[in-house]
Each structure stands twice: as C-alpha cells, then as structure tokens.
Structure 1
C-alpha cells in the first residue's frame, strides 16, 4: 500500500499530528499512522494531496519511496522524473546527527540528472525529491508541484475572532466528512463557515447578534459561499439538529462577548443543550472545561499569553 509523509509545524505539535491522523482515518479507517516527532508516515490508499489539501499545519508532504534506488527502478516513478522538465533535491534533517545538507543535495541532484533530462529549479520545480533523516530511520520520497488553496476573503473581521488555522484544525479534529454539515452556534464573523466551505463542507451559522449575522453573510457572499446564517440564540441548534452532523465553535468570553450569562454558566448550559450523538470541537477559556458532564476524545491547551490559555475539547 502507498506511503505518504507529512512534516508538520511544531507550533502545536500534538494537535498538528492528531489533525493529519484524523483526516487520514476519516478517508481510510484502515490506514496505518506512524509519527516520528513532527514527521508523520501514513500507509493508506488515500493520496497525500487529498490529505494535505485539508490539513492546516503541514509544511511539507509527498510520497515515500523507502529504498533509495527504488525511485529510479520503479517504472511509475521513473516515468514521473522522465516527464518532468525541472526538479529539485531537498534534504531535511530531523535527527540529532550533523549532516552536510548542501553536499547531499548536490550529490543526489547529479545522480538524478544521469537518469532524466530534467533541469534543476529551486523556484518552482515539477518534482521535488526528498531525503528525510530521523534518529530512527531515513526516508526517500518525492512530491509533484502542489498549489496551496487560496484563503477565503473577509470583508470584516475583529482581533478577538477565532484564528483561521485553529478553526480549520477543529473542523478536521471533529472528523467532519466532505458530505457532512457543520454548525457553529456562535458564528460571529463567520470564521467556521468560511473555513468549512473552503474545504467543501456545508455549514450553518447561528448568532443572537443581528449585526454579526450580517457580517457573516457579507463575508460569505464575498467568496460566493452559500452557508446559511440564522439570527437566533445558540439553543436554536436543538430545533435544527437533524440538519447538521457536528458542532465547531468558539465560546464567547471576556469583553468580546455580549452574552449576559456568566462564562461558566454559559458553558454548562451550552453543553447541556448540545444535541446528543453529534461530533464536536469546542474552544473555550481554560477552566471553563472543568466539571463538564461530557465524554471527550481529546483536549488541547492553546497558550495565548500569561493571562489567557484556551482549550479545544474534541469528541
């Protein structure tokens, strides 16, 4: 079975590894996942491009060829290099060893030139060939040119709104499939709705603030997105529970919140009214997650500054 590699950011390492794993298992529940620090090796029938197209914190990804000579002896990969007009060799050292990266890249490049007519390009090559060194083992792989997805545009946004990277990661951690619908009961400026639609996932937003609903609708319209926005209190989700499959939201807090309920009470009320059997990823201020009567798959701490740490609760 094909193997792919993903090198993720160390900013939120545990979350980043779990996000890639969740996406891979969502598409192929029998896939095998092997994390090595911030390198993830996945054995699956799912192409690496499909996984990285949804992932948030992946920096480099591609196909694995474990044997160094295999890329030249395997007909499919040989043809890939033969058809390429340009290539680049890149060595990545994730080990504790001292490795002469420039020399390895030059030597590998010289070897590739003897097998194909492609020219070296450091800017935008057709194929990138990777050598990845770890303390456990080394990997040889390649990747064809991959164009990152364009970011959704926002006409209006606020400094306190949910970060788009964490929004996207939460959707993935909730394992929402392409044919499912996500609901954000505190949709605000529409971050969850925008990220979901950019990933091909339908979404529904709810917000009690009419002004925020208008901002969400305007932000959606700017991207030609069709998500539904409803001006209601968060408990309206119970009335439309059959219309969505999961909940992804950031609970309002502090001066940014116009909700009259105290944060702890809001959290408890919200959790008690969540429709049963729904997948979810909820962000809240640390401390509000205590004494909740819900079973979680995982929770993550997101440090903001010395007086604020947020939590992501996942099921």
Structure 2
C-alpha cells in the first residue's frame, strides 16, 4: 500500500481524523493511519481509495501522495529523480513548524539547486513541502474535497450547516446503495447530502410543514432516491437500516421542556437500537447541556460510544457530535 497525506480543517482536527477513519473503513478496511501531525495525517491504503474518500469528504480539505519524509537538519533529497518523473513544474512551501526560518530556507535552497525547480507559481503540477518540527513531508497533490452548490430553497436558523450534515453521514460508515435513516429530518439537509453520495435515505418528521420544505429542497437537487414519512419517530419502528444520522430537537428552538426532551431521547435511542443493524452506527448532534442525560440513556440501552466531539457555536451553545455503535 502506498502512503497518502490528508490536510484537515484546523478548527476541528479530531472530527477530521474520525471522518478519515470512517471513510477508510468504507473503502479499504485494511488501510490505516500511520501518523498525524496536527492538521495533516499520513495514511496507507489502496490507490483507488483516495479518490473515493475525497469525493465524500467534508472536513478533510485535500489529499496527496507522499513522495518522501526527510529530515530538515540533514537533508537526503533522494526523491528528486522520482519527482521529475511526475512532470513537476514548481515547489509550494508550507511552514507548519516551530523551527527557525533559516533552516527552512536552507532546505528549500538545496532542493531548488538540485531539482532546478522554482518556488514561485507556475502552471502545471507542483510539489508540496510541509515543514513540521524536525521533518519535511514531501508530496504531490491529488484531490480537493468536492464543493456542492447550496440549492436548498428553504432552511432554518437552527438547521445544521451543510458541511456538518455531510460529516454526520460519513461518520455513519454507510456505503453507496445502503439505507440511512434521519428520524428528525427537519428541512432535509442530511438526506440531501446522503443522496448526493448515492445513499438511499428515509426521512421522518412530525411537522408536516417541514415535510413539504424537505421535499421541495430534495426536488430542487433533482434527487429521488429517498422516502419521506410524516410521523412521530418516538413511535415509528424501522427494520434493519444501515445507519442513522440525525439532529434531534434540543435547546430553546425545540420548544420542549427537560422532561419531554429526556423522554424523546429515551425513545430515540431505544428505537435506534431496534432499527440499526448490529455493529452499525448511530451519529447525532445535541447540546453539551444534555450530555450527562444522554450518556445515561446510552449506557442504559447498552450502546457503545465510539467518539464525542465538541463544536463551539456561540456562548449559549456548544454542540456535541456523538458516534455510537449498536453492539
């Protein structure tokens, strides 16, 4: 297996790493993360996996192939012949190190001298140098994450951002052609992102006005591989879905009292346990104010928390992303 590097969002590195792990689990279960340096991770996996990972990526910004890892203090530069085989036209330098500028300049000058490549922009392929503490990561860019136009006709202030919705889908490890359930569908953003990945979806909401909004949003993307149900997810039962990604009600926007929120999460977790296949994932977002309550409910029903990730929104709200497995 070859080595690839992935560059993440600086604000949510732990979520980005878990997104990479989840997508590798889908596209190459034998792949693994070799080493992480802040917002860059090096992974080993099959060659075709990098394109499939980046096609779905949300918090992963871009990827490339690792050519070499060198020492900043004693350069080897034994990769120069290889980079010329790729038709490299110039060198792009990223300074992500506590090392002094003199050492970075010394290394760069030696590489320029031996490779005869400039460090200013040229049209065509380029070599990336990441200076990270004592090492230099040398690589060739392969792919950036895909960007999708926001075609939603309607949304709400409490709706999840598109990138977070896409991330939740990826954390479920649901593959193309499998079925993902969103029992609190709202305006349908999670369904849209899953459908764009080739995943079949089921969306449920108790509010009929949101049903109409979600259907309009999905139709505006010309998507049709979904089922929408008007009903109460505290009551409706499902059969062997491959994963759940959702944003249950919480906070002031939900209009629910604490005792009602507790009952809602009890019903949600209990139904999820019965609905999701064994060893598959339930991923959801909630408020950190409900963390203790939700931990107790998850423990009560014997589910396994794989990860909890915190996203600061404003002084009154910090979101928690739960990754839970039905064991």
Instruction: Calculate the TM-score normalised by the size of structure 2.
Output: 0.82
Give the distance between the partners of 2:47 and 2:255, measured in 1 at CA: 44
Q: Give the aligned partner of residue 290 of structure 1.
A: 295
Give the distance between the partners of 2:251 and 2:230, measured in 1 at CA: 22
Q: Give the aligned partner of residue 100 of structure 2.
A: 98
The answer to whether the 8 Å contact 1:283/1:312 transfers is: yes
The answer to whether the 8 Å contact 2:9/2:16 transfers is: yes
> Aligned with 2:23: secondary structure?
helix
Give the distance between the partners of 1:151 and 1:136, measured in 2 at CA: 40
The answer to whether the 8 Å contact 1:237/1:274 transfers is: no
Where does 1:238-253 land on structure 2 (aligned, <5 Å)? 238=237, 240-242=238-240, 244-253=241-250
Q: Give the aligned partner of residue 180 of structure 1.
A: 178
Q: CA deviation at 1:137?
A: 2.5
Aligned match for 2:167, one of 160, 166, 169? 169
CA distance 1:10–1:312, change in 2 (3 Å):
same
> Aligned with 2:165: secondary structure?
helix
CA distance 1:119–1:215, change in 2 (3 Å):
same
Q: Give the aligned partner of residue 312 of structure 2.
A: 303
Where does 1:124-203 land on structure 2 (aligned, <5 Å)? 125-144=123-142, 146=144, 148-203=146-201
Q: Give the aligned partner of residue 232 of structure 1.
A: 231
CA distance 1:70–1:173, change in 2 (3 Å):
farther
> Aligned with 1:300: secondary structure?
strand
Q: Deviations over 1:43-76 (max 9, x none)?
A: 11144232222221223321100167565434xx
Of 259-268 and 271-280, deviating more is 259-268
Give the distance between the partners of 2:251 and 2:119, measured in 1 at CA: 56
Q: Deviations over 1:127-165 (max 9, x none)?
A: 231011112522111024657332341111111101222
Give the distance between the partners of 1:57 and 1:178, measured in 2 at CA: 19
Of 102-111 and 33-42, deviating more is 102-111
The answer to whether the 8 Å contact 2:272/2:282 transfers is: no
> Aligned with 2:7: secondary structure?
strand
**Residues 1:313 and 2:318 aligned together:** no
The answer to whether the 8 Å contact 1:3/1:63 transfers is: yes
Q: CA deviation at 1:126?
A: 3.6
Question: Which structure 1 residue ranges, 5 or more long, are not aligned?
Answer: none
Query: Higher strand share goes to which structure?
Result: 2
Of 104-113 and 224-233, deviating more is 104-113
The answer to whether the 8 Å contact 2:247/2:284 transfers is: yes
Instruction: Calculate the TM-score normalised by the size of structure 1.
Output: 0.84
Q: CA deviation at 1:119?
A: 11
CA distance 1:313–1:171, change in 2 (3 Å):
same
Alignment RMSD (CA, Å): 2.8
Q: Give the aligned partner of residue 279 of structure 1.
A: 281
Q: Deviations over 1:162-190 (max 9, x none)?
A: 12222111111121122322110011100
